[in-house]
A = this chain, B = another copy of it.
Amino acid sequence: MPQPTIISIAERAGVSIASVSRVLNGLGARPDTTEKVERAAAELGYVPNAVARSLKGGRTRQLTFAMPDIGNPVYVAMVRAIQSVAKAAGYRLLLHSTDAVVEDELAVLRSLGDRTSDGLILCPIRITDAHVEALRGAAGPVVVIGSLPSGVPVDSVRADSVAGVALAVRHLYETGRRRIAFVNGPADTVPGRKRGEGYRKALADCGLAYEPDLVARTDFDIEAGAAATEALLDQKPDAVFGANDQLALGAARALHARGLRIPQDVAVAGMDDSVLAQAGWPPLTSVDLGSTERGKRAAELLLRRLDSARAAADDTPETPTPRTTTAPPRLVVRASTGRAATDS
């Protein structure tokens, strides 16, 4: 005998399937009916078929989260936050790792139409016109984690990279650093561009000159960070600021390999304050761009959207105006940015 259904229960309890449904959903029923049904269900080990429920109810109680790379601690932090909000609200989480492939991200957006999940949180690393178009035509509620061009009618949660970078640069400046090198990620990503922008602005605010030779652009990983820093060392920086923790860790490696001490000879700072920041020695000063907070807010926005969508079904079909919130950055100071050694 395969899976029990309400039919098997109805037969066993000697009632109609409607009564079974009512009892199982906690609607009114006579005590003896209730009891018969509950007993039958328990004996049969009945579990309601969620697919049938979804088809009838028009919703799956599933949420989708699509991000570039599940191997990156930043996105892991988001997953945790989203998972926790979703779970609390009775939703499951469907995961997509898109490898930042645009075509994959668009496919995910399109797949909203297949009704597999009730809503989508999308975290693209770059946003193309195709994205914007797909977002306009999305078949269900979407929240974007990232910076959207204005005018796109979609909720979004953004990080404030510019302010974040400023926090770190000013901290380095205030602890006596004057030659602050910057190892950045690719220019064709939103984070890469924003962080570069923030760096120039922050230098200016501190009254420091922008020196192109103190800036490197490379991929967002440890190896790349080490290689780039290696090359920058000729410029005699007294601090290296990595556009994410991996880059900073790479910088630390390059410095160690050269026999330079952190922070006595060169200070190091990173961004994201991921688990990696505390993995090495000395522990890294890092700017928390609020991955956890952004994940949490995105999930909450999405849930609110879903609620209002359900309300609108009966009521006014008005769509609430899209919301954009920005998570504030936070500087976490650790040993990698202590004072420079006084050159007595």
Q: Give the interface of A toward B (CB within 8 A).
A: 3, 45, 47-52, 54-55, 60, 62, 70-71, 76-77, 79-80, 83, 92-97, 110-111, 113-116, 137, 139, 222, 249, 252-253, 256, 275-276, 278-283
Contacts and interface: CB of A to CB of B under 8 A. Distances in A.
B47 A139 contact: yes
Contact of A276 (B52, B110, B279, B282): B279
A83 B111 contact: no
Contact of A279 (B48, B71, B77, B249): B249
Contacts of A256: 281-282
A50 B114 contact: yes
Given A70-B76, A275-B71, A279-B249, A47 B94 contact: no
B76 A45 contact: no
A329 B13 CA distance: 54
Nearest to A116: B50
Contacts of A71: 76-77, 80, 275
A111 B90 CA distance: 13
A80 B51 contact: no
A249 to B, nearest CB: 5
Given A94-B94, A115-B3, A281-B256, A70 B79 contact: yes
Given A76-B71, A280-B279, A93 B94 contact: yes
A322 to B, nearest CB: 21
Given A3-B139, A93-B96, A276-B276, 5 more contacts: A51-B51, A62-B116, A70-B83, A222-B279, A256-B281
A113 B3 contact: yes
A141 to B, nearest CB: 14
Contacts of A62: 94, 116
A279 B275 CA distance: 10
7 contacts: A70-B80, A83-B97, A94-B95, A95-B95, A253-B281, A256-B281, A275-B276
Contacts of A252: 281
A95 B71 CA distance: 15
Nearest to A280: B280
A95 B111 contact: no
Contacts of A110: 47
A264 to B, nearest CB: 14
Nearest to A281: B256
Given A51-B55, A71-B76, A94-B92, A113 B83 contact: no
